Amino acid sequence: MASGTERSTERSPVSVADRSNRSAIEARDGLCSAAMRILVIEDDFEAATFLVKGLREAGHVVELAADGEAGQALAEGGDYDILVIDRMLPKRDGLSVVSALRAHGVQTPALILSALGEVDDRVRGLRAGGDDYLAKPYAFSELLARIEALGRRRSPAEGETVLKVGDLELDRLAHRVTRGGRAIPVQPREFRLLEYLMKHAGQVVTRTMLLENVWDYHFDPQTNVIDVHVSRLRSKVDKGFDRPLLHTIRGAGYMIRDAEA
């Protein structure tokens, strides 16, 4: 496993797909970077500095608020793409900030960070109006992948019936996968795995994101269970084709993209 620092530098040129292109979800090489405006609400100075630095290096515009009230005021006033909110904040608790924002009609996607390790914390965070939840301590690569996935959430991938990456096509209605016109037989779970990867084409998807979204579990599997699933899928999708689409991003996760496109 590689370090998060290494990952962030390696990862920085890749960013979300151009939001204006809504006809099909296709992976980009990321050079047409669409930087996001991110508001970080975090009271720990060192953690905040590290976070802001990392996100800026990844090409985003970042603002910082050190307490709940200031954060809420900024979030209500400014036009942000993503909010990163610490759970425990001075003056106003992170969860109440999120629910207040939702009550005031602010729908900006919010990622909640928490040092609490309670089993049901996640559920509470999402119920308060958060869109994703990450327990501390986290790897920066994990946070970045989740932030970018959240930013992409605004795109209408949900509505697409056919997802395309290069010559790989996934028909969500017919439950059919083809590459270059050739049908690829996949198991139901492999279909969901591929669907999630293609929905986030051009983005890094971490192992825990896959476990959460494809299997709906939030624990850490102790061994490389997800890797084996992905490599199995890869052997179906990429084997026999000269251009690999499913890439392993060292120290972070996986990404599906067509490098030639």
Partner 1 sequence: MVDAPPSRPDRTAFGADRLNGGSAGHDIARGQPAERAGSTSFLGRARRTGYGLLGSTAFRLSLIYLAVFAFFSGILIAYVYWNTQVIFYGQLVDTIEAEAQGLAEQYRIGGVGRLVQVVNSRTRSPTNTLYLVSDRDGTALAGNVSALTTGALERSGLMQINYQPYEEAEDRQHQALVHVFMLPGDYRLLVGRDIEERQRLINLLTRATLWGIALMIVLGVGGGYYVSRRVLARIEAISDTSRTIMHGDLSERVRLTGRGDEFDRLAENLNAMLERIEQLMHGFKEVSDNIAHDLKTPLTRLRGRVEAALRGAPDLAAYRDALETTIEESDRLIATFNALLMIARAEAGHSGISFAPVELSAVACDVAELYEPLAEETGVALCVTADTPVTINGNRELIGQAIANLLDNALKYGADGTDGTGRGGAEITVAVTQVAGAAELVVGDRGPGVPEADRDHVVERFARLEDSRSRPGAGLGLSLVAAVARLHGGALRLEDNWPGLRAVLSLPARGGSAERE
Q: Where do contacts with partner 1 occur on this chain (CB under 8 A)?
A: 1-6, 117-120, 123, 137, 139, 189, 211, 215-225, 228-229, 232
β-bridge partners, 84: 40, 111
Q: How many CA atoms lie within 13 A of 99 on its CB side?
A: 11
- In the complex with partner 1, the residue whose CB is nearer, 117 or 181, is 117
Least separation in angstroms between CB 218 and partner 1: 6
Structure token digits, residue 240: 């026999």
Q: Is 230 helix (H, G, I), strand (E, B) or coil?
A: helix
Output 67 or 121, the one with its CB closest to partner 1.
121
Q: Which one, 112 or 139, has the nearer CB to partner 1?
A: 139
Give the residue with the Cβ less far from partner 1, 2 or 73: 2
Considering the complex, what minimum distance in angstroms separates the CB of residue 135 from partner 1? 8
Shortest Å, Cβ 114 to partner 1: 13
Helices (H), the chain: 4-11, 45-57, 68-77, 94-103, 121-127, 140-153, 188-199, 207-210, 225-237
Q: How far is the CB of 193 from partner 1 (least distance, A)?
A: 11
Quick check: 122 and 102 in contact, CB under 8 A?
Answer: no
